[in-house]
Amino acid sequence: DGGITQSPKYLFRKEGQNVTLSCEQNLNHDAMYWYRQDPGQGLRLIYYSQIVNDFQKGDIAEGYSVSREKKESFPLTVTSAQKNPTAFYLCASSIGSGQGETQYFGPGTRLLVL
């Protein structure tokens, strides 16, 4: 079955540590996205990528980094510069970059700070 996988389901970060969240899709989609979800705040866009080897900052990119070396993979690194990383992180993909495109979401990773 095609879909998006995210791992791990739960991730714990210590002070000053960088952590990487995995996102893989086998839908052959060109575009991929990372969102952060906090209670009562909806989804906020961190980074997105429309094509391999290219990505753009979203609304809250500070303290995060991404790479897009393969079409199916879009890992997110939460760096030590992100002072409030506790949140639910959602990865999504879409066929292309046009209006009206449906986004397909992974199951999410919950990041907690020790």
By C-beta, is 50 or 80 nearer to another protein?
Answer: 50
What is the DSSP pairing of strand 4-7 with strand 19-25?
antiparallel
Q: Binding of another protein at residue 113 (CB under 8 A)? A: no
Specify the 3-state DSSP secondary structure of 103. coil
Contact predicate 77/19, CB 8 Å: yes
Contact predicate 91/58, CB 8 Å: no
Q: Binding of another protein at residue 90 (CB under 8 A)? A: yes
Q: Binding of another protein at residue 2 (CB under 8 A)? A: no
The two tokens of residue 55 are 């990505």
21-80 positions binding another protein, by CB under 8 A: 33, 40-43, 45, 48, 58
Residues in the site for another protein, rule: CB under 8 A?
Answer: 4, 6, 33, 40-43, 45, 48, 58, 90, 92, 97-108
